[in-house]
Amino acid sequence: MTQAHHPIEIKPAKGKLGILMVGLGAVATTFVAGVEGIRKGVRKPIGSLTQNGHIRLGKRTDHRNPLVKELIPLADLNDFVYGAWDIFPDNGYEAACKAGVLPRDLLDKVKDDLSVLEPMKAVFDQTYCSRLQGTHVKTKTNKMELAEALIQEIAEFKKKNNCDRLTMIWCASTEAYNTLSPSHQNVKSFEEGLKNNDPRISPSMIYAYAALKSKIGFANGAPNLSVDCPAMNELAKEMGVPISGKDFKTGQTLMKTIVAPGLAARYLKLTGWYSTNILGNRDGEVLDAPENFKTKETSKLSVLDSILKPDLYPDLYKDLYHKVRINYYPPRGDNKEGWDNIDIVGWMGMPMQLKIDFLCRDSILAAPLVLDLVLFMDLAHRAGMRGIQEWLSFYYKAPMTKEGLEPVHNLFHQEMKLLNTLRYMMGEDQITHLGIEYYQE
Ligand SMILES: NC(=O)c1ccc[n+]([C@@H]2O[C@H](COP(=O)([O-])OP(=O)(O)OC[C@H]3O[C@@H](n4cnc5c(N)ncnc54)[C@H](O)[C@@H]3O)[C@@H](O)[C@H]2O)c1
């Protein structure tokens, strides 16, 4: 253990927390349906660290294991208010029925809570999402004016719903591949870019800009850049708000970052890792477009290198062939199937194979991450933690880090980072798992 310090000052979680979701599709509606179901006692909050997790404090012999939500002041689920934008006008109930993630009888138990959720008109640009044609879209054409319209809507939402605080999360479709351009370099160039309608500024960046300007945090559940650029980092720090991303770590990549650290810990050689998915929801349809898949592919491919470290272990991992495919296959809907074939080489060069067939449910895995992220982003905001929140890497496929700092992908290191951050915030000792002190007493 390392020594504790003074706790960080955290403002209390009083009053209503407004959760603004960009995109009211499968993930967003499954999140809302789940939270409302939990509040009504219909289901338990399975899959959520904030709702289930205990955290060890002090020595193993101290037997102090409070619930995370008892240790730190998180917002109460009863204080949630929801807002959303979507390119379709369907309310939350209609959207949830179309998404087809949860059965109708279960959705009907929270029908009223979902039906009142009417999306606001979206900021949408089809060049970033060729497979969708929105009907419920803002008509302004200047990007700065669009940002200003969002800022106004955010302020109205806060007032109308009597919110104490707000947080925004991107649950909308993955945008086409985009790289950093001169507009993304700093706040000034970004604002110029907005005024001049720079085509490299995507809708997700306009939402992110509007959030940060309104002094609210922004979490990014998709792999598009959004807040992952120097301009947004600068703005987040300036406005004193947290940002985090990118891309919820659910199905196959979750498995990859669970299995790969184990194989690497045993110094087993890997020659191939072939991952393929079939899914038939709207996410799958959007990702069927090559320019949108490229954004996802980049995010999914990034995880193995930081876990396996081929530069340090060229004999074991330099020649690894890593391939990721996603195939749109409508019959499966949201019930994705992810296959992995892993070619392993062991002692004396003898080959082995590992096959993983994960019959998962995409939005069922993502919804509890949305819950934890909105709670932790709100916590970070109240604790004055501004800019990139690396401790939330646990939730993301392509964690954002400070420039020049390699992201951590190993799920167990991410978990330790998260729990130690909570201990740090509360002025508790860090837990290093050294354990030698028990034998020196
Ligand atoms: N479910 C998972 O396991 C998972 C994991 C990682 C990332 N994601 C990402 O989360 C996002 C949401 O996934 P989903 O399954 O809910 O998809 P979805 O297609 O069901 O929902 C996305 C919604 O966003 C809307 N939308 C698109 N562009 C918009 C814009 N500019 N403004 C407002 N709304 C917009 C769409 O109309 C749609 O209703 C996707 O980007 C997906 O890649 C999901």
- Nearest-CA residue for atom 37 of ligand 1: 87
How many Å lie between the centroid of ligand 1 and the Cα of residue 382?
Answer: 28
Quick one: how many helices (H) and strands (E) in the chain? 18, 11
How many Å lie between the centroid of ligand 1 and the Cα of residue 86?
Answer: 10
How many Å lie between the centroid of ligand 1 and the Cα of residue 22?
Answer: 8
Task: Return d(Cα 235, Cα 187) in angstroms, integer.
Answer: 6
CATH topology of domain 16-248+364-425: Rossmann fold (3.40.50)
Q: In this predicted structure, what is the pLDDT of residue 306?
A: 87
Q: Any residues with CB less than 8 A from the CB of 134 and at least 6 apart, and which?
A: 87, 88, 122, 124, 126
How many Å lie between the centroid of ligand 1 and the Cα of residue 441?
Answer: 54
| Ligand 1: nearest atom to the Cα of 129 | 28
Q: In this predicted structure, what is the pLDDT of residue 2?
A: 66
- Nearest-CA residue for atom 39 of ligand 1: 25
Whether pLDDT at 320 is above 80: yes
| Ligand 1: nearest atom to the Cα of 174 | 41
Whether pLDDT at 99 is above 90: yes
Q: Any residues with CB less than 8 A from the CB of 44 and at least 6 apart, and which?
A: 38
Confidence of residue 231 (pLDDT cuts 50, 70, 90): very high
**Domain residue ranges in the chain:** 16-248+364-425, 251-359
Whether pLDDT at 368 is above 70: yes
Structure tokens at 219: 């979490």
Task: Return d(Cα 160, Cα 152) in angstroms, integer.
Answer: 12
- Nearest-CA residue for atom 17 of ligand 1: 283
The length of the chain in residues reads 441
How many Å lie between the centroid of ligand 1 and the Cα of residue 222?
Answer: 8
**Sheet with strand 321-328: strands edge to edge:** 321-328, 269-279, 337-345, 351-359
Treating both helix axes as pointing N-terminal to C-terminal, what angle do 143-160 and 187-195 enclose, rounded to 10 degrees?
100
DSSP of 243-283, one letter per residue?
Answer: EE-SSB--HHHHHHHHHHHHHHHTT-EEEEEEEEEEE-SHH
3-state secondary structure of 430: strand
Structure tokens at 63: 């037997």
Task: Return d(Cα 411, Cα 373) in angstroms, integer.
Answer: 16
Task: Return d(Cα 106, Cα 86) in angstroms, integer.
Answer: 23
Output the CA torsion sign for 144, 229, 385, 169: positive
Same fold? 16-248+364-425, 251-359:
no
- The mean pLDDT of 241-269, rounded to a whole number, is 95
Residue in 129, 153, 173, 332 to alter for ligand 1 test, most ligand atoms within 8 A of Cβ:
173
How many Å lie between the centroid of ligand 1 and the Cα of residue 65?
Answer: 36
3-state secondary structure of 153: helix
Mean pLDDT across the chain, nearest whole number? 94
- The mean pLDDT of 123-139, rounded to a whole number, is 92
Output the CA torsion sign for 97, 101, 105, 107: negative
Whether the Cβ atoms of residue 85 and residue 147 lie closer than 8 Å to each other = no
Whether the Cβ atoms of residue 378 and residue 165 lie closer than 8 Å to each other = yes
Write down the CATH superfamily of domain 251-359.
Dihydrodipicolinate Reductase; domain 2 (3.30.360.10)
Residue in 174, 252, 283, 326 to alter for ligand 1 test, most ligand atoms within 8 A of Cβ:
283
Q: Any residues with CB less than 8 A from the CB of 220 and at least 6 apart, and which?
A: 169, 170, 204, 208, 226, 227, 228, 243, 244, 245, 246, 247
| Ligand 1: nearest atom to the Cα of 173 | 41
Task: Return d(Cα 366, Cα 237) in angstroms, integer.
Answer: 28
Q: Any residues with CB less than 8 A from the CB of 404 and at least 6 apart, and which?
A: none
Confidence of residue 147 (pLDDT cuts 50, 70, 90): very high
| Ligand 1: nearest atom to the Cα of 30 | 16
What is the chain's percent helix, strand, coil content, to nearest 5?
45, 20, 40
Q: Any residues with CB less than 8 A from the CB of 278 and at least 6 apart, and which?
A: 284, 327, 328, 329, 332, 336, 337
Task: Return d(Cα 382, Cα 75) in angstroms, integer.
Answer: 10
- The mean pLDDT of 144-151, rounded to a whole number, is 98
Q: What is the pTM of this model?
A: 0.95
| Ligand 1: nearest atom to the Cα of 365 | 3
Task: Return d(Cα 308, Cα 261) in angstroms, integer.
Answer: 7
Q: In this predicted structure, what is the pLDDT of residue 357?
A: 96
- The mean pLDDT of 58-86, rounded to a whole number, is 96
Confidence of residue 145 (pLDDT cuts 50, 70, 90): very high
3-state secondary structure of 97: helix
How many Å lie between the centroid of ligand 1 and the Cα of residue 353?
Answer: 34
Pocket, ligand 1, Cβ cutoff 6 A: 22-27, 85-88, 99, 122-124, 129, 132, 171-174, 203, 221-222, 247-248, 250-251, 281-283, 362-363, 365-366
Q: Kindly report the backbone phi and psi dihedral angles of residue 244, in degrees, each rounded to the nearest multiple of 5, phi listed first.
A: -155, 160
What share of the chain has pLDDT > 70, as a percent? 99
- The mean pLDDT of 38-58, rounded to a whole number, is 96
- 351-359 and 337-345 beta bridge pairing: antiparallel
What letter does residue 62 receive in the DSSP assignment?
G
Whether the Cβ atoms of residue 245 and residue 400 lie closer than 8 Å to each other = yes
| Ligand 1: nearest atom to the Cα of 90 | 39
How many Å lie between the centroid of ligand 1 and the Cα of residue 237?
Answer: 27
